[in-house]
Structure 1
Amino acid sequence: MTEAIDLLIHARWTVPVEPAGTVLDNHSIAVRDGRIVATLPRSEALTRFRATRQVELAEHVLIPGLVNLHTHAAMSLMRGLADDLPLMRWLQDAIWPAEGRHVSPAFVRDGTLLAAAEMLRGGITTCSDMYFYPESAAAAFAEAGMRAVLGLVMLEFPTSYASDADDCLRKGLAARERWLGHPLISFSIAPHAPYTVSDTSFIRARALADELRLPLHVHIHETADEIHNALATDGQRPLARLARLGLLGENFIGVHAVQMDESDIELLSRYNCSIAHCPTSNMKLASGIAPVPRLLDAGLRVGLGTDGAASNNRLDLFQEMRHAALLAKVGTLDATAVPAHTALRMATLAGAQALGLDASIGSITPGKQADLCAIRLGDLESRPCFDPVSHLVYVAGREHVTHVWVNGESRVDKGVPLLHINDSELLRAVSVWQTKIVN
Structure 2
Amino acid sequence: MAASATPDSASTQRIVIENCAIATVDADDTEYATGHVVVAGNTIESVGAGPAPTGLANVVRRIDGTGHLATPGLVNTHHHFYQWITRGLATDHNLFNWLVALYPTWARIDEPMVHAAAQGSLAMMARGGVTTASDHHYVFPRGAGDLVGAEVRAAAEVGVRFTLARGSMDRSEKDGGLPPDFAVETTEGALLGTEEAIDRYHDASFGSMVHIAAAPCSPFSISTELLREGAALARRKGVRMHTHGSETVEEEKFCHELFGMGPTDYFESTGWLGEDVWMAHCVHMNDSDIEAFARTGTGVAHCPSSNARLAAGIARVPDMLKAGVPVGLGVDGTASNESGELHTELRNALLINRLGAHRESALTARQALRLGTYGGARVLGRADEIGSLEVGKLADLVLWKLDGLGHSTIADPVTALVFGAAAPVTLSLVNGRPVVEGNHLTRVDEDTIARNARAEAQRLARTAAAG
Shorter-chain TM-score bucket reads: over 0.9
Choose the corresponding residue for 2:103, options 96, 104, 108. 96
C-alpha separation between the residues in 2 aligned to 1:64 and 1:70? 18
Could you tell me whether the CA contact under 8 Å between 2:67 and 2:403 is conserved in 1?
yes
Aligned to 1:197: 222
Aligned to 2:439: 415
Could you tell me whether the CA contact under 8 Å between 1:191 and 1:217 is conserved in 2?
yes
Pick closer, same or farther for the CA change 1:71–1:99 going to 2, 3 Å. same
Could you tell me whether the CA contact under 8 Å between 2:19 and 2:51 is conserved in 1?
no
More divergent stretch after superposition (135-144 vs 154-163): 154-163
1:387 CA displacement: 1.3
1:169 CA displacement: 2.6
C-alpha separation between the residues in 1 aligned to 2:89 and 2:226? 31
Aligned to 2:123: 117
Could you tell me whether the CA contact under 8 Å between 1:134 and 1:151 is conserved in 2?
no
C-alpha separation between the residues in 2 aligned to 1:152 and 1:438? 25
Could you tell me whether the CA contact under 8 Å between 1:128 and 1:151 is conserved in 2?
yes
Pick closer, same or farther for the CA change 1:334–1:180 going to 2, 3 Å. closer
Say yes or no: does 1:274 pair with 2:274: no
Choose the corresponding residue for 2:68, options 60, 67, 78. 60
Pick closer, same or farther for the CA change 1:428–1:44 going to 2, 3 Å. closer
- Matched letter for residue 74 of structure 2: L
Choose the corresponding residue for 2:25, options 5, 8, 17. 17
Aligned to 2:449: 426
Aligned to 1:142: 156
C-alpha separation between the residues in 1 aligned to 2:321 and 2:71? 22
1:80 CA displacement: 1.1
Say yes or no: does 1:438 pair with 2:445: no
SS of alignment partner, residue 394 of structure 2 = coil
1:157 CA displacement: 4.3
C-alpha separation between the residues in 2 aligned to 1:424 and 1:373? 23
Structure 1 residues not aligned, in runs of 5+: none
C-alpha separation between the residues in 2 aligned to 1:318 and 1:34? 23
Aligned to 2:270: 245
Could you tell me whether the CA contact under 8 Å between 1:220 and 1:256 is conserved in 2?
yes
Choose the corresponding residue for 2:90, options 71, 82, 87. 82
C-alpha separation between the residues in 1 aligned to 2:256 and 2:84? 34
Aligned to 1:316: 341
1:160 CA displacement: 6.9
Alignment of 1:363-378 (within 5 A): 363-378=388-403
- Matched letter for residue 115 of structure 2: R
C-alpha separation between the residues in 1 aligned to 2:209 and 2:289? 34
C-alpha separation between the residues in 1 aligned to 2:53 and 2:182? 54
More divergent stretch after superposition (183-192 vs 276-285): 183-192
Choose the corresponding residue for 1:40, options 48, 53, 59. 48
Aligned to 2:143: none
- Matched letter for residue 75 of structure 1: Q
Say yes or no: does 1:176 pair with 2:226: no
SS of alignment partner, residue 346 of structure 2 = helix
More divergent stretch after superposition (164-173 vs 146-155): 164-173
More divergent stretch after superposition (58-67 vs 44-53): 44-53
Choose the corresponding residue for 1:264, options 273, 286, 289. 289
SS of alignment partner, residue 386 of structure 1 = coil
- Matched letter for residue 57 of structure 1: G
C-alpha separation between the residues in 2 aligned to 1:14 and 1:28? 8
SS of alignment partner, residue 40 of structure 1 = strand
SS of alignment partner, residue 359 of structure 2 = coil
C-alpha separation between the residues in 2 aligned to 1:23 and 1:49? 26
Structure 2 residues not aligned, in runs of 5+: 1-5, 140-146, 173-180, 463-467
C-alpha separation between the residues in 2 aligned to 1:68 and 1:44? 30
C-alpha separation between the residues in 1 aligned to 2:422 and 2:165? 28
Aligned to 2:426: 402
- So what's the TM-score if we normalise by structure 1? 0.94
What is the RMSD of the two structures over their aligned residues, measured on CA atoms? Answer: 2.0
Aligned to 1:8: 16
- Matched letter for residue 401 of structure 1: V
SS of alignment partner, residue 360 of structure 2 = coil
